[in-house]
Amino acid sequence: VSRYKLIVEYDGAPFQGWQRQENGPSVQQTLEEAVHGFSGETVVVEGAGRTDSGVHATAQTAHFDLPTDRFDASVVMNALNAHLRAHPISVLSAEHVPDDFHARFSATWRSYRYAILNRPAPPAIELGRVWHVQKPLDVERMRAGAAYLIGHHDFTTFRATQCQARSPEKTLDRLEIERVGEHVIVKVQSRSFLHNQVRIMVGTLKLVGEGKWTPERVGQALAARDRRAGGQTAPAQGLYLTGVGYD
Amino acid sequence: VSRYKLIVEYDGAPFQGWQRQENGPSVQQTLEEAVHGFSGETVVVEGAGRTDSGVHATAQTAHFDLPTDRFDASVVMNALNAHLRAHPISVLSAEHVPDDFHARFSATWRSYRYAILNRPAPPAIELGRVWHVQKPLDVERMRAGAAYLIGHHDFTTFRATQCQARSPEKTLDRLEIERVGEHVIVKVQSRSFLHNQVRIMVGTLKLVGEGKWTPERVGQALAARDRRAGGQTAPAQGLYLTGVGYD
């Protein structure tokens, strides 16, 4: 067999998330159909991160196998993009990888970006691509709150109640917040994340930025190890999977 | 009467352009209906720039009159945005202005941005918001070509053959080109532009960036005063009206 690694960009809006679903189109299924379209093969395309419905990716990583190596990686990329023309999915790169490469299990880190549009007027050009927060956010306060979350913690407060992960302990390697014009951008990196972890962290830090919470309350919420102690889950439309790392 | 000035953002994709049309929805008509929705008044909303079908705006300027001044400008902004919720149009600001302010005739400059996505893979997240150019563009060469266009010229080569302007002479005050990651961004400013002027200039400079034209040929094309001497009209989806100035 011949294994291919893909880096994929997509607009999450029209999809029920990455993973194949009964109730609507998924990015995974759309990619699998594109592989079938050019190769005739029925494959499973494994992704590094199972993004939820409405979540975008600028650099999701995935892999799949073909029975022969008769397709150059560049041919695979162009053929996939030709078959994906009707969908907001784009294959940014394709390469041959060894058989022991696994997009999900070989990954050593994931990075996400969360985009908030922080102004009185709603988004028009970025509709469906940002979270609209009208009240001015104090980025310095948000950073003070974020400091409690960086490092190794029990993130029970920041996981969806239906999260399937065996352990709620994760190491958050990076949590940066910056203002870029009307936008507040949150960038995070970790080996892996709990279900909705990024969105609950953002929903909580937004309360700090608005002045409704003190920064210290983020530390108290973390220590509570209780989802009810955290803020709202920020909407999917502001979240982007921006990178996946491998050793 | 009470005159209101609006600054408006919109995604041009679903519209037949700014101006009211028989054959489909326009930004102007949608705004006029929103004014009617909250005030009950039938008004004309005058825009500074009549953007073509598919062209976006981050800061179109417009004005309209109401018979009374019973609405605060902030109420007008919020009421319009409430009525525009189903459309990718957002009123960024509203203010009372004197009766002699005219969005179009009082304007002393317009600025536009043109966004090229310059990479092998097609756009997914920015589908409909950029021009996809696969061949790497040499920005330095494009700048050398652009230098011929800055200043006062007869821009006949860079106007649509159906352009209605009385004179083909315009003064191009600014034409800047920069690379930002995978994007090549062209920024222009002038008192006013001929029909399709920005898009034809970009379509021509793209030929220079790809190496198909020398920079000098831009000067020769300008001197020819003939639309057939210029490059293609770059697609509408990459163009944004970014500002309108008033003394």
Give me the interface pTM, i.e. the ipTM. 0.92
What's the alpha-carbon Rg for chain A, to the nearest Å? 19
Q: At what angle do helices A215-224 and A197-209 cross, to 10 degrees?
A: 150
Task: Report the alpha-carbon distance of residue A22 to residue A14 in Å, rounded.
Answer: 15
CB-nearest partner of A91 from B56, B121, B127 = B121
Q: Is A2 on the interface with B (CB under 8 A)?
A: no
Mean pLDDT across A25-52: 96
Which pLDDT score, from 0 to 100, does residue A68 have? 85
Name the residue of chain B whose CA is nearest to A58's CA. B125
Q: Is the pLDDT of residue A22 over 90?
A: no
The torsion defined by the Cα of B32, B34, B37 and B42, in degrees rounded to 10, comes to: -10
Which of B90, B91, B126, B240 would you mutate first to test chain A, the one with the most A CBs within 10 A? B90
Query: In whole numbers, what is the pLDDT of chain A averaged over residues?
Result: 97
Residue B123: its chain A contacts at CB < 8 A? 9, 90
Using the beta-carbon criterion (under 8 Å), do B90 and A124 form an inter-chain contact?
yes
Q: For residues A102 and A63, is the Cβ–Cβ distance under 8 A?
A: yes
pLDDT surpassing 90 at residue A70: no
pTM: 0.95
Q: Give yes or no: B138 in active site.
A: no
Compute the average pLDDT of residues A208-212. 98
CB-based contact A122 B85, cutoff 8 Å: yes
Tell me what pLDDT residue B22 has.
87
Task: Give the rounded percent of residues in chain A with a pLDDT score beyond 70.
Answer: 100
Task: Note the pLDDT tens digit of each residue in A75-125.
Answer: 999 999 999 999 999 999 999 999 999 999 999 999 999 999 999 999 999
Predicted local confidence at residue B104, as pLDDT: 96
Dist CA A66 CA A69 (whole Å) = 7
**Which chain A residue lies closest to B91 (C-alpha atoms)?**
A121
Q: Does the pLDDT of residue A154 top 90, yes or no?
A: yes
**Are A124 and B89 in contact, with CB atoms under 8 Å apart?**
yes
Are the beta carbons of A81 and B122 separated by less than 8 Å? Answer: yes
pLDDT class of B70 with cuts at 50, 70, 90: confident
CB of B180 less than 8 A from some CB of A: no
Q: Residue A74 — pLDDT band, cuts 50, 70, 90?
A: very high
Å from A166 to nearest chain B CA? 33
Beta bridge partners of B116: B131, B184
Whether residue B14 lies within 8 A of chain A, CB to CB, comes out as: no
Segment B28-33 shows an average pLDDT of: 98
Do the chains contact at B123 and A90, CB–CB below 8 Å?
yes
Look at A9 and B125 and tell me if their CB atoms are within 8 Å: yes
The DSSP secondary structure of A151-171, one letter per residue, reads: EEEE-GGGS-TT---S--EEE
Check CB contact under 8 Å for A91 and B9: no
Does A213 score more than 90 pLDDT?
yes
Query: Each residue of B140-173: pLDDT tens digit?
Result: 999 999 999 999 999 999 999 999 899 999 999 9
